[in-house]
Amino acid sequence: MDFGIKRNIVNSLAALGCSLIIVPADTPPQEILDFKPNGVLLSNGPGDPKDALYGAETASALIGKVPLFGICLGHQLLASAFGGDTFKLPFGHRGSNHPVKDMEKGRVYITSQNHGYAVKAESLPKELKITHCSLNDGTIEGLRHVKLPVFSVQYHPEFSPGPADSFYLFNEFLAML
């Protein structure tokens, strides 16, 4: 789903052999399902996620039907699809040197970020596990559903501030497919 997709997201998935169909952000869920996708990626995009809640509604309708991966705005919309809330950061996360800790692996990644909103931890349901957090301000940088094939990251894994540090996320999405 194209909310303002970066070209390198497309390139990253294509490099893994994925056949892609890019649909506008306001595409109805049934129209997406009619393509019989193996999975759906909710892309990054600009602005307040509350201005794109139609994307959260679509994601909600897709949950449990196909694997879902959200990046940046897509991360915020997936959180919203599960009833989570977002807030405006006092200072946005901008640039290519933001340390993010992968809570599952105990590893720190240097990430590229470009967003002004974040997910409120206290608004999340128990079925969403926080997988990544910002070491700068403690905000949520990644989520995963405890049972369903749904995950997301706030940062941009398609951008490589290091040697393809976060490309593993595309491989994880591919494995879910």
Q: Of 57, 141, 158, 172, which residue is the catalytic one?
A: 158
Residues 96-108: tens digit of each pLDDT? 889 999 999 999 9
Residues 7-176: name the CATH superfamily. Class I glutamine amidotransferase (GATase) domain (3.40.50.880)
Spatial neighbors of 73 by CB under 8 A, at least 6 apart, are 3, 4, 42, 43, 44, 45, 46, 47, 49, 52, 55, 115
- Give this prediction's pTM: 0.93
The one catalytic residue among 98, 104, 156, 172 = 156
Among the listed residues 72, 115, 132, 145, the single catalytic one is 72
Is 158 a known active-site residue? yes
Q: Is 72 a catalytic residue?
A: yes
SS3 of 70-96:
EECHHHHHHHHHCCCCEEEEEEEEEEE
User: How do residues 126-170 score in pLDDT, each as one tens digit?
Assistant: 999 999 999 999 999 999 999 999 999 999 988 655 555 777 888
Q: Three-state SS across 15-42?
A: HCCCCCCCCECCCCHHHHHHCCCCCEEE
